Chain A
């Protein structure tokens, strides 16, 4: 029987969870662009967009609420696409992207629900309304994605955890449009009422403000995802370095070694095997 003693070390074998982040420059540019877009959006909201006759100033929260919702939902679907790529390629990079996409979208989701509640209070006097189908369907989506974390952390094996998380992200991604259809249909069929929602009949100035706001929030999402991915990559590299520097435990200590094989240990093993093929020797 042949045996091949290779000398590659643990560090080259371990797959990185994210891509090496040589993208610090890109992140910095992105942050500046985001900051600029958000400042522009805020200026437009406060100084340019028309004041709503009925709801007053608080109506302007719409420019925050709706873009946050749209970006979060798109983020969930993007996470599903990353999950598909992860399953097909097995590359943990896609799993990281899927995980972070969901993470940021869930945080945006909390903001959507809070701003939605504030808007409901301002428009209809109640802290929650069931006849705003977009808000309701968002609540359901949020409840679903909130279960992503307990599901992930209940699975110990990391490979399986990533795979099952991807399966979940695909199911949930398909769920988002289906859920929206069902909730919307329920509203229009069961409670036919015409809403003067902001989507219909918006004047040009509102459209412009809305679009700039949407652009800024979308950039914010991308930037936050980029930062979190870079942070995860950095801590993964740190963990790898720590493991590489850990010395192997002493002989006969009985402890299961999780440290990578050092080259010197491999040389010793090489020598023993070479000795073995020449005939049995006494125990080392």
Chain B
């Protein structure tokens, strides 16, 4: 636990000081919204289109952060330092996943209002939408941390992450979009089957968090 907080605090401190991931994610998301506005030729979105545009943008922005989440450890010898200390490998996994969740929450706190301003006529569903996004963030963080750790050891680091992560995230996308679509429906939010999709999202999160907990020892050893 102490190692988890130490590593998480260290990561957040570095991010605050260098501002490498989060501003890039935010800018990317807003630009993506503009692209979608023109690509779809729509100035207002609802239902499945709104859910799709928002979630796809969050997913792609997340990849920017996932790519970089282990870069300090790899380039500055951080893996060695952590492995030399009496800490569990899973503390590193948990800390990195937690850091990703923080970055994603900050991203969403900024870009969801922007999205609402750009495209939504009805803001009633934003609060339940936040819950959907939070559950999606957990899944994104777990798989992102796992795949990023596999990719740091490889040559084509920046390519491997999006390549492997996207298919892996399809069920997450299905569930998150399934829950978001009724919330953003044209006539006002509906809660039809939202609970089912939240359940699938939760299942996804649990499965990949457990897998990360179980295999990360093998990722760190040499």
- Point out residues on A near B: beta carbons under 8 Å: 87, 140-141, 143-144, 147, 150-151, 154-157, 159-160, 163-164, 166-168, 170-172, 174-175, 178-179, 181-183, 185-186, 189-190
Contact = CB atoms under 8 A, between A and B. Distances in A.
B200 interface: yes
Given A87-B215, A155-B154, A147 B164 contact: yes
A151 B155 CA distance: 9
Interface string B195-218: 011001001100110010001001
Interface in B124-158: 143, 146, 150-151, 153-157
A30 B178 CA distance: 46
A221 to B, nearest CB: 22
Nearest to B172: A182
B160 A154 contact: yes
Interface string B148-185: 00110111110110011011101100110010000000
Contacts of A166: 218
B222 interface: yes
B170 A185 contact: no
Contacts of A143: 166-167
Given A178-B171, A189-B178, 19 more contacts: A141-B167, A144-B164, A147-B163, A150-B156, A151-B151, A151-B154, A155-B154, A156-B155, A160-B222, A163-B221, A168-B164, A171-B168, A178-B207, A181-B200, A185-B178, A185-B196, A186-B178, A189-B196, A190-B178
Contact of A182 (B155, B159, B200): B200
Given A151-B164, A154-B156, A189-B193, A182 B219 contact: no
A175 B193 CA distance: 23
Contacts of B197: 185
A151 B178 contact: no
Chain A interface mostly: helix
A178 B167 contact: no
Interface of B: 143, 146, 150-151, 153-157, 159-160, 163-164, 166-168, 170-171, 174-175, 178, 193, 196-197, 200, 203-204, 207-208, 211, 215, 218-219, 221-222
A189 B48 CA distance: 13
A155 B218 CA distance: 15
A185 B211 contact: no
A279 B37 CA distance: 84
Interface of B is mostly: helix
B154 A185 contact: no
Contacts of A175: 168, 171
A164 B153 CA distance: 9
A179 B155 CA distance: 29
Given A155-B153, A178-B171, A164 B219 contact: yes
B91 to A, nearest CB: 18
Q: Which 5 A-B pairs have the closest CB atoms?
A: A154-B154, A182-B171, A144-B167, A143-B167, A182-B174
A191 to B, nearest CB: 12
Given A171-B208, A171-B211, A186-B178, A160 B153 contact: yes
Given A151-B150, A175-B168, A167 B215 contact: yes
A160 B219 CA distance: 8
A85 B105 CA distance: 37
Contacts of B146: 167, 171
A259 to B, nearest CB: 25
Contacts of B159: 150
Contact of B175 (A154, A160, A172, A182): A182
B111 to A, nearest CB: 25
B167 A170 contact: no
A166 B171 CA distance: 21
Contacts of A141: 167
Contacts of A186: 174, 178
A87 to B, nearest CB: 5
Given A143-B167, A164-B153, A178-B203, A150 B211 contact: no
B192 to A, nearest CB: 9
Interface centre among B150, B200, B204, B219 (most CB of A within 10 A): B150
Contacts of B154: 151, 154-155, 164
22 contacts: A141-B167, A144-B164, A150-B159, A150-B163, A154-B151, A154-B160, A155-B155, A160-B153, A163-B221, A164-B154, A167-B150, A174-B208, A175-B171, A181-B171, A181-B200, A183-B171, A183-B174, A185-B178, A185-B196, A185-B200, A189-B193, A189-B196
A178 B167 CA distance: 12
Nearest to B181: A190
Nearest to A148: B164
